Amino acid sequence: MKNYNDMNDAEKKSWLTKLYIEEHKSFQEVADIFQTYANKIRRDAIKLQIKSRNKSDAQKNALETGKHKHPTKGTTRSESTKNKIGKSVMQSWESLSDKQLTKRKTKSKQLWNNLSDDEKQQRLNLAHTAIRNSSKIGSKLEHKLLELLIQDGYKVDFHKEQILSNTKLQIDLFLPTMNIAIEVDGPSHFLPVWGDEVLAKNIKYDQKKTGLILGKGLKLIRIKQTHDFSQARSLSVYEKLIQAISQIKLSNIKSIEIED
């Protein structure tokens, strides 16, 4: 192989195209082949208008070619570690300023607007399906709270029909030994997700349900879910729920509302 310093620009470009572009070698690997320096190869690539890989592309290339191992692939995180990571992410979001939140919302809106009509419709269909399933089998937050309550030794009825003033109604989570009903209200209970008319009906239904629950002599805890589900946030909600249960047990309070 000809000495790198003795090559003309055309020869250098040919070799760099072959090794760096086609064979996905790094500048350091190309430099090692020609027994020179990586910075020299990088400068020549720029001079010869060979596009350099950015940091993200370089990392992706290193993983795909097996030069580096993925830092988390093949590893299993404990639930404790996952919860710590989730809590950290949640706190990071909550510490954002109004300006930063507005910037992220604007970016999300732009991403949505850049989707094709078919992509938008597919995502809307998935969202509608998730909401319908949630109403039938319970939301992720409901299932997580059920899991945690059972782990802590509470007897829980899940989406069990209750006879309230000759009306069959499902209570999301019911603690029969303490006569405490727990309702988890998603955004459609307090925001016009499906329009003002549907929201008005939901509010009226919730008010009726609250009246029936309290009228039977039960205690009620309503959880207002204002954020998307996450493991870390669900643990925070559970802590508030346990505090509310204790508060109801030790006082004459009949109804408590908490937020996620």
Residue 238, domain CATH: 3.40.960.10
Mean pLDDT confidence for 41-46? 90
Contacts of 38 (CB under 8 A, 6+ apart): 26, 27, 28, 30, 31
pLDDT reading at 68 higher than 70: no
In tens, the pLDDT along 176-220 reads: 999 999 999 988 888 887 778 888 998 999 999 999 999 999 999
Coil, helix or strand for 149? helix
Query: How many Cβ atoms are within 10 Å of 182's Cβ, its own excluded?
Result: 23
- Given this model, what pLDDT does residue 137 score? 44
Q: What gap in Å lies between CA 82 and CA 235, rounded to an integer?
A: 12
Evaluate whether residue 89 is within a structural domain: yes
Query: How many Cβ atoms are within 10 Å of 189's Cβ, its own excluded?
Result: 17
Residues 97 and 176 in one domain: no
Q: What gap in Å lies between CA 231 and CA 235, rounded to an integer?
A: 6
Residue 23 corresponds to which tokens in the numbers above? Answer: 């064979």
Work out whether strand 167-175 and strand 180-185 pair parallel, antiparallel, or are unpaired. antiparallel
- Tell me the pLDDT of the chain averaged across its residues: 82
CA dihedral over 195, 196, 201, 202, signed as positive or negative = positive
Evaluate whether residue 214 is within a structural domain: yes
In tens, the pLDDT along 138-178 reads: 478 999 999 999 999 999 999 888 777 677 788 999 999 99
Please give the share of the chain, as a percent, with pLDDT higher than 90: 31
Residues 86 and 164 in one domain: no
Residues 120 and 203 in one domain: no
Residues 123 and 147 in one domain: no
Cα angle 224, 233, 169 (rounded to 5 degrees) comes to 35
- Give strand ranges (E) for the chain: 157-164, 167-175, 180-185, 219-224, 255-259
pTM: 0.53
Query: How many structural domains compose the chain?
Result: 3
Q: Which domain holds residue 177?
A: 137-259
pLDDT reading at 256 higher than 90: yes
Q: What gap in Å lies between CA 85 and CA 91, rounded to an integer?
A: 10
Q: 200-230 as b/e, with b when 16 or more CB fall inside 10 Å?
A: eebeeeeeebeebbeeeebbbbbbbbeeebb
Mean pLDDT confidence for 223-242? 89
Burial of 73 (0-12, 13-18, 19+ CB in 10 A): exposed
